[in-house]
């Protein structure tokens, strides 16, 4: 399979994981946090249909411009893009039925603000799906020199501020009291 199909398959798996279905969520208001140039936003807009409203946010005006161009080329007026800081969103509380975050968490310098903002804009009972790079939980078995060296390489090579564990993300989400038990 080619790279693009593999990406679409990954989005489909994330949709299944998050309980997102075209028939059920056809009119959903969706937020794609850290959308880049909007590949996932466009795919979701197409998959969920014309009644869905998909908004992608990124810090880059160039990504917004390109995402908007590509959405227009593909006839997807329900995919829109905005320059916005994911750590200080302009949206009102409870704005979105679905909050989607794919490979954006690793770029966030404040993981707590990242989670808090996504939970703030998610409607009660809404669907939240996130895939992000994590490190293992080092509270029981601390990182050794090799672990620290490997993490430092990833931070420097990919310019990520830092990673946290799945457990730490779960604790941040639990602290918001917005999500039910896992």
Which residues are identified as catalytic? 103
Q: Using alpha carbons, select from 153, 118, 117, 119 the residue that is nearest to residue 135.
A: 153
Which residues have a Cβ under 8 Å from the Cβ of 22 and sit 6 or more positions away?
47, 48, 49
Q: Where would I find the H helices in 34-87?
A: 39-48, 61-73
Instruction: Quote the CA–CA distance of 42 and 129 in Å, as a whole number.
Output: 16
| CA–CA separation, 136 and 134 (whole Å) | 7
CA distance 137 to 127: 25
């Amino acid at each position: 399979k080619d790279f693009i199909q593999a990406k679409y398959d990954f989005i489909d798996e994330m949709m299944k994981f998050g309980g997102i279905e075209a028939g059920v969520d056809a009119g959903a208001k969706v937020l794609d946090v850290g959308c880049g140039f909007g590949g996932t936003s466009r795919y979701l807009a197409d998959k969920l249909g014309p009644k869905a409203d998909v908004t992608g946010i990124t810090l880059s005006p160039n990504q917004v411009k390109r995402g908007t161009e590509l959405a227009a080329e593909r006839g997807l007026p329900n995919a829109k893009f905005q320059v916005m800081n994911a750590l200080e969103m302009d949206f009102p509380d409870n704005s979105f039925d679905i909050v989607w975050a794919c490979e954006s968490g690793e770029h966030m310098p404040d993981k707590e603000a990242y989670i808090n903002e996504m939970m703030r804009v998610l409607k009660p009972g809404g669907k939240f799906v996130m895939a992000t790079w994590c490190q293992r939980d080092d509270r029981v078995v601390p990182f050794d020199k090799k672990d620290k060296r490997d993490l430092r390489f990833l931070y420097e090579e990919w310019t990520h501020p830092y990673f946290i564990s799945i457990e730490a993300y779960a604790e941040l989400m639990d602290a918001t009291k917005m999500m039910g038990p896992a």
